[in-house]
Amino acid sequence: MDEVTFRPGISIDSAPTLGDMAIETVPGEHVDIRLWTRAGDVESQAMQQLRNIAALPWVVKHVAVMPDVHYGKGATVGSVIAMRDAVSPAAVGVDIGCGMSAVRTSLRAEDLPDDLRRLRSAVERAVPVGFGQHRDLAFDTRDAADWDQFWSRFKELTTSVRNERDRALHQMGTLGGGNHFIEVCLDEGGQVWLMLHSGSRGIGNLLAQHHMAVARGLAHNAELPDPDLAVFLARTPQMAAYRHDLYWAQEYARRNRAVMMRLLCDVLRQHFPQVRFEEPISCHHNYVAEEEHFGEELLVTRKGAIRAGWGELGIIPGSMGTGSYIVRGLGNPESFCSASHGAGRRMSRNAARKRFTAEDLAQQTAGVECRKDAGVVDEIPAAYKDLEQVIANQSDLVEVVAKLRQIICVKG
């Protein structure tokens, strides 16, 4: 599709300069904190986390804070941290490789039935949600190549997860719960899109928890302001083990989304035999990458942030009632070529459950075919930040390619 084709890459010297967005800088103990939002809008817990991160001696240049920033376990969600010869597992999070995939279809709004319940039910039958898993293996060579080689590496993972292979096999191609979702969306031109959000499922969580515990026990982390920010150092066996397991889990997450997207496409083919699909867009937003920034090779962790290099496509979703954006990166070096991963929570899950009811959820998701019961009240749109403001705050990081609104939303 013409409007989402990639642009050629450019060198960092010719990357766009900062736009009109007023970036606030908060001094830190070791490096500064640069925010694509007002510092006064960041909750105190999250700001203290950011100060703790900025005090780490391995952090380079500054901590880049996205406009969807909010408090998270260990490290702040919406933070981009570049380290020299070190990496913090908490700066990735427990859902290693969590991210988004989207694909535009040839269907238009007028091709869809007025009642979308049957289509939603078909999606829910095809893709297990919550703690569910497939009875039979769901993946094949249509989803990705080298499956045998990928699974053969399982035996090389840390011994603490060796007995989880069967669960990992049967969770491949499943959604999970929490803020993970599958959506059928319409863009402003009436074109139908498929979109989903998921990660590395149970196996990624177990690997993350194991390595975070190992890092907390290392002597060089004893005096850190927050034990959860413990790091692995380069050229150590602990770092090598973590990076091995991390990259495998990131690959698991990528494949998991590919399997689900193929299952969703199969559902549409059953209902609309004439449907065609364009190339999918896919991006991690909880991960580690080896990248060059400011003339130096660094380990960059993005927790609740996507890579937004020049011309790179990304996905920034909102809540289950406010739509999403397909964006193209502007390659801003000050953000380490990053952008937000979504709207970001403005209140905790517990706070949302106490404040809102199923009736509130039904009102705020009017027009969307989705669950409207107490089990997903914590995902109510009002628990999230204003997506339009989040997008406006990063106009120097991404440009909008397409705005989507969901008409079906499936959650665990």
Give tens-digit pLDDT for 226-284: 999 999 999 999 999 999 999 999 999 999 999 999 999 999 999 999 999 999 999 99
Q: What confidence score (pLDDT) does residue 74 get?
A: 78
CA proximity to 202, closest of 256, 148, 247, 149 = 256
Q: Please tell me whether 197 is known to bind a ligand.
A: yes
Number of domains in the chain: 1
The mean pLDDT of 280-306, rounded to a whole number, is 97
pLDDT at 22: 52
Q: Any binding-site annotation on 320?
A: yes
Q: Which pLDDT does position 4 carry in this prediction?
A: 32
Is 341 annotated to bind a ligand? Reply is yes
Determine the Cα–Cα distance for residues 377 and 379; give it in Å rounded to an integer. Answer: 5
Average model confidence (pLDDT) across the chain: 93
- Extract the tokens encoding 152: 């053969």
293 annotated ligand-binding residue: no
| DSSP-based three-state secondary structure for 197 | strand
For the residues 307-331, what does the mean pLDDT come to? 96
Q: For residue 181, say whether it is annotated as part of any ligand binding site.
A: yes
Within a domain: 160: yes
Is the pLDDT at 353 greater than 60? The verdict is: yes
User: pLDDT tens digits, residue range 80-118?
Assistant: 999 999 999 999 999 999 999 999 999 999 999 999 999
Structure tokens at 230: 């413990």
In a domain, 225, yes or no: yes
For 228, the token pair is 């959860």
Condensed to tens digits (0 to 9), the pLDDT of residues 244-254 reads 999 999 999 99
Q: How many CB atoms within 10 Å of residue 251?
A: 16
- The CATH number of whichever domain residue 391 belongs to comes to 3.90.1860.10
pLDDT attached to residue 23: 81
Q: Residue 21: what pLDDT?
A: 53
Query: pLDDT tens digits, residue range 197-212?
Result: 999 999 999 999 999 9
Q: Is the pLDDT of residue 10 over 90?
A: no
* Confidence band, pLDDT 50/70/90 cuts, at residue 152: very high
Residue 19 lies in a domain: no
Q: What are phi and psi of 98, to 5 degrees?
A: -55, 145
342 labelled ligand-binding: yes
Is the pLDDT at 6 greater than 80? The verdict is: no
* Res 412: pLDDT: 81
- For residue 368, the model assigns a pLDDT of 97
pLDDT at 36 over 70: yes
Compute the average pLDDT of residues 356-365: 97
Active site residue 341: yes
- For residues 104 and 346, give the distance between their C-alpha atoms in angstroms, rounded to a whole number: 30
Question: Per the annotation, does 179 bind a ligand?
Answer: yes
pLDDT for the residue numbered 19: 41
285 is in an annotated binding site: yes
Closest CA to 313 of 341, 342, 283: 283
Pick the residue with more confidence: 189 or 10?
Answer: 189
pLDDT at 322: 92
Q: Residue 29 domain-assigned?
A: yes
Q: What is the pLDDT of residue 3?
A: 33
Domain residues for the domain of 360 are 24-396
- The answer to whether residue 5 is domain-embedded is no
pLDDT at res. 2: 29
For the record, the structure tokens of 366 come out as 């009017």
DSSP 3-state assignment of 26? strand
Instruction: Consult the annotation and say whether 62 binds a ligand.
Output: no
From the list 62, 134, 170, 341, the catalytic residue is 341
**Was 170 annotated as part of a binding site?**
no
Closest Cα to residue 39, out of 27, 29, 47? 47
pLDDT at 225: 87
The answer on whether 318 is annotated among ligand-binding residues is yes
Place of tokens 């499922």: 201
DSSP 106-138: EEEGGGS-S--HHHHHHHHHHS--TT---SS--
Question: Residue 85, annotated ligand binder?
Answer: no
Q: What is the rounded distance in angstroms from the CA atom of residue 178 to the CA atom of residue 225?
A: 29
pLDDT class of 326 with cuts at 50, 70, 90: very high
Q: Is 12 part of a structural domain of the chain? A: no
Q: What sign for the dihedral angle of Cα 233, 236, 238, 242?
A: positive
pLDDT of 168 over the 70 cut: yes
**For residue 407, is it within any domain?**
no
150-to-141, 155, 318, 391, 399 alpha-carbon distances in Å: 12, 10, 33, 37, 35
- The answer as to whether 15 is a domain residue is no
pLDDT at 238: 98
Q: Specify whether the CB–CB gap between 254 and 282 falls below 8 A.
A: yes
Q: Is the pLDDT of residue 9 over 80?
A: no
Residue 342 has pLDDT above 80, yes or no: yes
